[in-house]
Chain A
Amino acid sequence: MSDRQYMRVRADMPPGHVRTPAYLRGKCGWVERTLGPFPNPEALAYGLQAQALPLMRMRFSMTEVWGAAAANPNDTIDAEIYSHWLEPAEAPHAP
């Protein structure tokens, strides 16, 4: 994954309908692939006009997400994150 973009999920905790799981907020991962654009569910949920956004399939290491509690550091979690929840991050050495 070393040639992929490395990004951090924003650590925001807003109320309301969002599709970014709390356990991934503030965590960094690699862009596994780019999807979309897809309309923003945070607007669709309220019947509002929704902006189309890129959707990133992010890959996180278990260690990044759970720290020392990760039983198998090489295992991974993939999740789709809308682009407005992502910010650039400095890449560590390639996993």
Chain B
Amino acid sequence: MTDTNTFDGQRWHDMGGTAAGPVPTDQHDFSLWEKRVDALMIVASGKGHFTVDGLRRVLEDMGEEAFETMTYYERWIASVNQNLIEAGVYTTSELAQRMTQVAARGATYGEAASE
């Protein structure tokens, strides 16, 4: 099975039929911050600010390195944020200032999220 069935123009996320190793068996329980990212996606898309297709488009454009180095919900919050900025819900400047404020609240997620 040396035929890897890849094509010029095939994108990294379009994985069907490409060679890969054994299916991993590791499992983790979702943490609160991951569940919040999931909920933000469902709520914001449910209100029409963007679509699941917009979520996927940004995840794909983030590229393979992001897939290999970031966790699933890290990629999701990056994509949710990108879509919300594109939709004009808030500006990059507003996000930047808020992230700086959040970082100043404490060294852990629990401290920074408790405002």
Any A–B CB pair closer than 8 Å = yes
Binding site for B on A (CB under 8 A): 13-17, 21-25, 41, 44-47, 65-67, 69
Q: Are B3 and A69 in contact (CB under 8 A)?
A: yes
Q: A21 CA to B51 CA in the complex, in Å? A: 20
Question: Which one, B9, B11, B16, B56, contacts A45 given CB within 8 A?
Answer: B56
Task: Give the interface SS of chain B, mostly helix, strand, loop or mixed.
Answer: loop
Q: Are B57 and A46 in contact (CB under 8 A)?
A: yes
Q: Are A41 and B5 in contact (CB under 8 A)?
A: no
**Beyond A13-B7, A21-B14, A23-B14, 15 extra complex contacts between A and B, CB < 8 Å:** A13-B9, A13-B10, A17-B53, A17-B60, A22-B7, A24-B16, A25-B7, A44-B51, A44-B53, A44-B54, A45-B53, A45-B57, A47-B50, A47-B86, A67-B3
What's the minimum C-beta distance from A23 to chain B, rounded to whole angstroms? 4
Q: A11 CA to B54 CA in the complex, in Å? A: 24
Among B6, B16, B86, B87, the one with the most A-chain Cβ atoms within 10 Å of its Cβ is B16
Collect the chain A residues with CB atoms within 8 Å of residue B10's CB.
13, 22
Chain B contact-residue range equals 20 to 34
- B24 on the interface (CB 8 Å rule)? no
What's the minimum C-beta distance from B33 to chain A, rounded to whole angstroms? 26
- B17 on the interface (CB 8 Å rule)? yes
Q: Are A21 and B16 in contact (CB under 8 A)?
A: yes
Q: Are B60 and A69 in contact (CB under 8 A)?
A: no
When each residue 21-65 of chain B gets 1 if its CB lies under 8 Å from chain A and 0 otherwise, what string results?
A: 000000000000000000000000000001101101100100000
What's the minimum C-beta distance from A50 to chain B, rounded to whole angstroms? 9
